[in-house]
């Protein structure tokens, strides 16, 4: 088919490798550039006529009731969503999801959000304030979550009636959360992880999606992408990638749940690839922050990002040979790497660390700069280093190794570029060279 210039423009804006059918259709293009993204993204939001939202005054009642309204038989067929986590990204996820559940006939309106209870300076409990104001005043101030979002401090109660579970907590807490939920999750439930990180066990690395599946007996997809939460919260256009294993229908349901006119979601059949992209980019972001803190310039930063992407791909494919090259060109791959190295919290704190000459610890900087949010890059760098060390791969991944050694105080921040004198030693792993080739 021959494309005219308008179709060519929109193809350039929206093209994604054919792993996902969601981006394979051409659309009419409005004349105003700002309307292009809105019109096209709207196409991806498969919605039905909206139902009336719950009044905010009913939140307290919803918290203590089953939340089932209307015909019992039809209600029993509806999916019920619980979000496990309520930080910055968890709160944004609740806003996205709540805006869709209230429109889609296949979902209950109510979205429960498990909140780790905290006392605010005012003496009030965080959950009470969220339910009264419809706002997470600590982690996402100034943004309304949706009147159908109900904060719940009781983890078991929050998941009791749900059959779609969204996990979005710091990865270091996930093993404990899963242990608490064993036997508490409804049979046949589906899960999705928005968590960047991995668990390192004696037998090797364990991805968070695998941890959830193994401990809770549920299928677990993942969602990753170039997603700085504060930008999405004010509805600036963004993309994300759902990774799934075999069930395309479930992946499409997750796409439907998250997709909005300003948050365009596609699906690829590559859980490990999508999840490792979201995990490893935080390690590269630390390297980018060191470069910024030492004012080494844009050329150096670009080089670090390129080398980091190469190590991300190689690490992923050596651990999981089924990982697809095309995944690295999705939002979860190169796009997420770019945005995290330009504006993410890992880059920002690493910059401050480098400016201090490594004299201020990451724990100190995290407490000072992130208002209760957690860094993922430092712990992930340690976990990656542990994998590399245990398997004799340190010489194969000099950037990843250097990031951990700088973060742990063994090397000065300036060492981030000195590693360049040592090219990857491909003899460390038989056949490794193929994973570093373009």
Catalytic residue positions, numbered: 281
Q: What is the DSSP letter of 62?
A: H
- Give, in order, the Cα–Cα distances in Å from 105 to each of 81, 102, 146: 13, 8, 17
The angle formed by the CA atoms of residues 68, 87 and 174, to the nearest 5 degrees, is 85
- Give, in order, the Cα–Cα distances in Å from 398 to each of 118, 149, 284, 305, 394: 41, 45, 12, 13, 6
Q: Write the burial class of residue 32 (CB in 10 Å: 0-12 exposed, 13-18 middle, 19+ buried).
A: exposed
How far apart (Å, rounded) are the C-alpha atoms in residues 84 and 114?
A: 5
| Residue 380: its H or E element | helix 377-391
CA-nearest of 68, 64, 96 to 80 is: 68
How far apart (Å, rounded) are the C-alpha atoms in residues 415 and 419?
A: 6
Structure token digits, residue 367: 């407490």
Structure token digits, residue 180: 């608490």
Backbone region of residue 431 per phi and psi (left: phi > 0; alpha: psi in -120 to 50; beta: other values): left
Counts for the chain of helices (H) and strands (E), in that order: 20, 10
* Contact criterion met (CB below 8 Å) for 287 and 403: yes
Backbone region of residue 146 per phi and psi (left: phi > 0; alpha: psi in -120 to 50; beta: other values): left
Neighbours of 365 (CB within 10 A): 19
Structure token digits, residue 309: 């992407």
Could you tell me which residues come within 8 angstroms of residue 173 by beta carbon, excluding any fewer than 6 positions away? none
How far apart (Å, rounded) are the C-alpha atoms in residues 30 and 37?
A: 9
């Amino acid at each position: 088919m021959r494309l005219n210039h308008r179709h060519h423009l929109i193809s350039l804006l929206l093209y994604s490798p054919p792993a996902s059918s969601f981006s394979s259709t051409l659309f009419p293009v409005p004349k105003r550039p700002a309307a292009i993204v809105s019109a096209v993204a709207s196409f991806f939001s498969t919605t039905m006529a909206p139902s009336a939202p719950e009044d905010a005054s009913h939140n307290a009642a919803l918290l203590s009731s089953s939340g089932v309204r209307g015909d019992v038989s039809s209600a029993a067929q509806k999916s019920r969503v619980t979000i496990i986590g309520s930080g910055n990204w968890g709160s944004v996820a609740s806003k996205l999801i709540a805006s869709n559940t209230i429109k889609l006939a296949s979902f209950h309106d109510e979205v429960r959000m498990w909140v780790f209870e905290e006392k605010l300076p005012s003496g009030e409990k965080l959950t009470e304030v969220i339910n009264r104001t419809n706002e997470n005043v600590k982690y996402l101030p100034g943004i309304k979550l949706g009147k159908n979002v109900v904060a719940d401090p009781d983890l078991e109660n929050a998941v009791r009636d749900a059959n779609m579970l969204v996990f979005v907590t710091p990865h270091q807490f996930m093993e404990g959360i899963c242990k608490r939920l064993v036997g508490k999750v409804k049979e046949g439930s589906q899960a999705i992880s928005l968590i960047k990180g991995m668990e390192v066990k004696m037998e090797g690395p364990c991805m968070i999606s695998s941890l959830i599946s193994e401990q809770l007996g549920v299928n677990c997809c993942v969602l990753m992408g170039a997603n700085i939460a504060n930008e999405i919260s004010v509805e600036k256009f963004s993309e994300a990638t759902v990774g799934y294993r075999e069930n395309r229908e479930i992946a499409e349901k997750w796409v439907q749940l998250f997709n909005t006119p300003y948050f365009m979601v596609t699906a690829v059949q590559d859980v490990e690839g999508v999840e490792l992209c979201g995990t490893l980019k935080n390690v590269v972001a630390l390297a980018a922050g060191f470069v910024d803190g030492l004012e080494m310039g844009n050329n150096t930063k670009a080089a670090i990002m390129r080398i980091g992407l190469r190590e991300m791909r190689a690490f992923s494919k050596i651990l999981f040979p089924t990982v697809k090259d095309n995944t690295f060109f999705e939002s979860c791959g190169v796009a997420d790497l770019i945005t995290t190295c330009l504006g993410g919290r890992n880059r920002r704190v690493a910059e401050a660390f480098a400016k201090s000459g490594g004299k201020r610890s990451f724990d100190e900087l995290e407490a000072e700069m992130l208002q209760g949010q957690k860094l993922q890059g430092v712990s992930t760098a340690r976990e990656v280093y542990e994998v590399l060390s245990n398997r004799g791969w340190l010489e194969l991944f000099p950037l990843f190794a250097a990031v951990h050694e700088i973060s742990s105080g063994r090397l000065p921040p300036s060492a981030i570029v000195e590693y360049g004198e040592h090219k990857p030693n491909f003899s460390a792993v038989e056949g490794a060279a193929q994973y570093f080739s373009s």
